[in-house]
Amino acid sequence: MTERIPGFATLAIHAGAQPDPTTGARATPIYQTTSFVFDDADHAASLFGLQTFGNIYTRIGNPTTAVLEERVAALEGGTAGLGVASGHAAQVLVMHNLLTPGDEFVASKKLYGGSINQFNHAFKNFGWNVVWADPDDITTFERAVTPKTKAIFIESIANPGGVITDIEAISNIARRAGVPLIVDNTLATPYLCKPIDHGADIVVHSLTKFLGGHGNSIGGMIVDAGTFNWSREGRYPMLSEPRPEYQGIVLHETFGNFAFAIACRVLGLRDIGPALSPFNSFLILTGIETLPLRMQKHCDNAKAVAEWLAAHNKVAWVSYPGLAGDRYHALAKKYCPKGAGAVFTFGLKGGYDAGIKLVSNVKLFSHLANIGDTRSLIIHPASTTHRQLSDAQKTQAGAGSDVVRLSIGIEDKDDIIADLEQALSA
């Protein structure tokens, strides 16, 4: 008999987890320990030499986090995952595997403002040079590629503008350039979109948002699709050259289609150190168990709110790819057929001042700098998350002065709409 492949909701609850072998605990225990006792000296030596898989020290791996890693990798359809302290840490570890000083990567200019900052400032200090391209003109990606390009980075649904990126078209450009495509799938989650099915080689997440889903823990994840040939042309020496500290083993040769995730762990986490707390892993795992239920409700509520706003006389425009007339509607139907996510922007006819007034008058919505909580959230990006960017960058990132960003929660939709109604007429 062929083995049944579990469905998404089943994987969200079970992937990676077993009853605890010692106690029988059914929920994954929180292994709140820094370190793990070796069986004997040979066992210790083989763990340190990467000859045996096992636990050494929580900076490099932890059994609670291991369940989370396996679960997110299963949901994304990847070969392995690596949990880290935040979404931003995931991006650092990915690029640390790929780039050496002087190298370049091409990134969509429609990205979360924090990623634009990270790439423009911190990454530049590491000698990793970003070249921006426009997801609304795919040819700009092709033109941005040079012999120094080592990767392409995009978001599936871009924060905050409700932009859906054409993953397959950009994946084809990455293939022709011989570089991996990295997709930040934070806003979509694998419930709405699975970038690996569309040609992504690496998926990154801020677990802080919809995957954890309850606004209580910061975390990040790297998922290795297992698709990229790291040894071709020797362009990725971290993976294709012998590692002196591990008796000369070549990570790609030894670990095959999960070598990228291993390199992020045994070189990235080991040396850079942004480990995920086991307690956060536990909370995020619990959140993921209800991901399909929550995401569908988030999307259904978001569509209802977007439709209501689009008909409101104080609203100039609404950018939600789930709306029939939206410029990204066709891409949303292709990449996110179950719903276009729950984060979107709209513009107020009253501009900057009206935006400030709205965020000051909401009662059910929380005015704060996060997305992907059960609760409905609101922010005026130009005065907060995107304030460090120049006016041109703000506009490019979909965060002009009249823009308000919503992250629609899973409360009753009539209550969400009633709160916006009272705040808009206040």
Ligand X SMILES: Cc1ncc(COP(=O)(O)O)c(C=O)c1O
The stretches of 225-277 forming alpha helices (DSSP H) are 237-240, 251-255, 259-263, 270-272
**Shortest approach of ligand X to residue 2 CB, angstroms?**
38
Nearer of residues 186 and 227 to ligand X, judged by Cβ: 186
Q: How many residues does the chain have?
A: 426
Tokens at residue 378, please? Answer: 């609101």
Closer Cβ to ligand X, 343 or 362, answer by number: 343
Nearer to ligand X, 115 or 374 (CB): 115
Smaller CB distance to ligand X: residue 145 or 188? 188
Query: What's the sign of the alpha-carbon dihedral 75, 76, 80, 85?
Result: negative
Please report, as ranges, the residues that interact with ligand X according to CB under 6 A. 86-88, 112, 114-115, 155, 159, 184, 186-187, 206, 208, 218, 220, 371
Distance CA 359, CA 413 (A): 19
CB of 234 to ligand X, least distance (A): 31
Q: How near is the Cβ of 54 to ligand X at its closest, in Å? A: 28
Give the position of tokens 């304030």: 387
Question: Is the previous residue joined to 160 through a cis bond, with omega within 30 degrees of 0?
Answer: yes
Cα distance between residue 133 and residue 155, in whole Å:
12
Cβ atoms of 346 and 400 closer than 8 Å: no
Strand partners, 149: 104
Tell me the closest approach of the beta carbon of residue 376 to ligand X, in angstroms: 16
Query: In the complex, what is the shortest distance from the CB of residue 4 to ligand X, in angstroms, rounded to a whole number?
Result: 34
Q: Which residue is nearest to ligand X (CB)?
A: 87
Q: Which is nearer to ligand X, 82 or 259 (CB)?
A: 82
Report the residue number, 75 or 354, with the smaller CB distance to ligand X.
75
Torsion angle, alpha carbons of 328, 225, 148, 117, to 10: 60
- Distance of closest approach, residue 399 Cβ to ligand X, in angstroms: 12
Question: What tokens does 369 get?
Answer: 């700098």
